[in-house]
Amino acid sequence: MKTFKNKLAIVTGGGSGIGRSLSMGLARAGASVAVTDIHEDRAGQVAGEVRALGAEAWGLGVDHGNKEAAGKFADQFISEHGCPDILCLNAGVGHGAPLERISLEDWEWVLGVNLWGVIYMLHHFVPKMIERQQGGGILITSSIAGFSPLPGMSPYCTSKYALMGLSESLRAELGAHNIGVSALCPGFINTNIVKNGKIDLRDDKGASRSGDVVKFYATKGVSPDLVARDGLRALRRDIGIMPSPLHAWPQYLLHRLSPVLYNAVLKFSWKRGFPFGK
């Protein structure tokens, strides 16, 4: 995809964080943007910010983890706006807890939004993109947790690893239709993901670590604008896998070079409170 000019894009979970930055970046590059979010007011607010840049934008309330809502949204969108050129499948929820304190409902919630939310969008929109034979681009927001394990985050890692398999398989398959597929793999980013997520991590004495996790993301997390910039570069140049920002790369490379060493380091540091401190 050489340019985003005059393209029609959908950004899921665009009401905050990385999705908001992706929406703004696409608009600056000349695309029209449909911003979706489970919080319709947030989607509307970001759509307003996008319009202030001079681009066409719509803010739409959609629960991407709900099969019926996702299907209804797709039908309505296609009948009103036609087939999109760009899908940024970004809506996601944060979760952190050890296995023994995770309810089945929480497993379903995380996989429902982070994985099934992406599957529903692909299911409804990609056949239309193939049919019209004009190519397109898909950016799936995975995570560093999609290529390297993180203890205390097993549902989240499960969902993001699945997204890597999904995006790499589709990358080969949809290449035949001139549709690029890339996976954006953010590290620690200062967004609302932790504040709005479900965190039940505790220290050795059983005290909650939620505050430490929120503080870690707020102080050590980087701006979502940097990640969106890398994501849009991956989309435009069809890069495939895009760890972002710079701090995500050592983890990516170490895990690829030696999963054994990576896991040994992780086990050692997790016992010592990594990454949130003792």
- Contact yes or no for 34/12 (Cβ under 8 A): no
- Selected from 19, 59, 84, 96, the binder of ligand NAD by CB under 6 A is 19
**Residue 255: CA atoms inside 13 Å, Cβ hemisphere, count?**
15
Q: Which stretch binds ligand NAD (CB under 6 A): 76-84, 182-190, 201-209, 229-237?
A: 182-190
Distance in Å, CB of 133 to ligand NAD, minimum: 30
**Residue 89: CA atoms inside 13 Å, Cβ hemisphere, count?**
32
Q: Which stretch binds ligand NAD (CB under 6 A): 172-180, 187-195, 198-206, 259-267?
A: 187-195
CA 266 – CA 216 distance, rounded (Å): 18
- 63 is a site residue for ligand NAD (CB under 6 A): yes
- 152 is a site residue for ligand NAD (CB under 6 A): no
Residue in 156, 161, 217, 252 annotated catalytic = 156
**Residue 45, Cα to own-chain centre: how many angstroms?**
20
- Selected from 25, 59, 65, 136, the binder of ligand NAD by CB under 6 A is 65
Core vs surface per residue 28-39: b (16+ CB within 10 A) or e: eeebbbbbbbbe
Q: Which stretch binds ligand NAD (CB under 6 A): 47-55, 60-68, 239-247, 252-260?
A: 60-68
CA 57 – CA 60 distance, rounded (Å): 10
As a three-state string, the secondary structure of 13-36 is CCCCHHHHHHHHHHHHCCCEEEEE
> What part of residues 192-231 is at the interface with ligand NAD (CB under 6 A)?
192-193, 196, 221, 224
> What part of residues 102-131 is at the interface with ligand NAD (CB under 6 A)?
113, 117
- 59 is a site residue for ligand NAD (CB under 6 A): no
Bridge partners of residue 88, in order along the sequence: 11, 139
Q: Which DSSP state fits 223?
A: P
CA 47 – CA 218 distance, rounded (Å): 25
Nearest in space to 156 (alpha carbons), one of 171, 146, 169, 147: 146
Identify whether 262 is a catalytic site residue: no
Distance in Å, CB of 131 to ligand NAD, minimum: 26
- 186 is a site residue for ligand NAD (CB under 6 A): yes
Query: Which residues have a catalytic role annotated?
Result: 156
Q: Contact residues for ligand NAD (CB under 6 A)? A: 13, 15-19, 37-39, 42, 62-65, 90-93, 113, 117, 141, 143, 186, 188-189, 191-193, 196, 221, 224
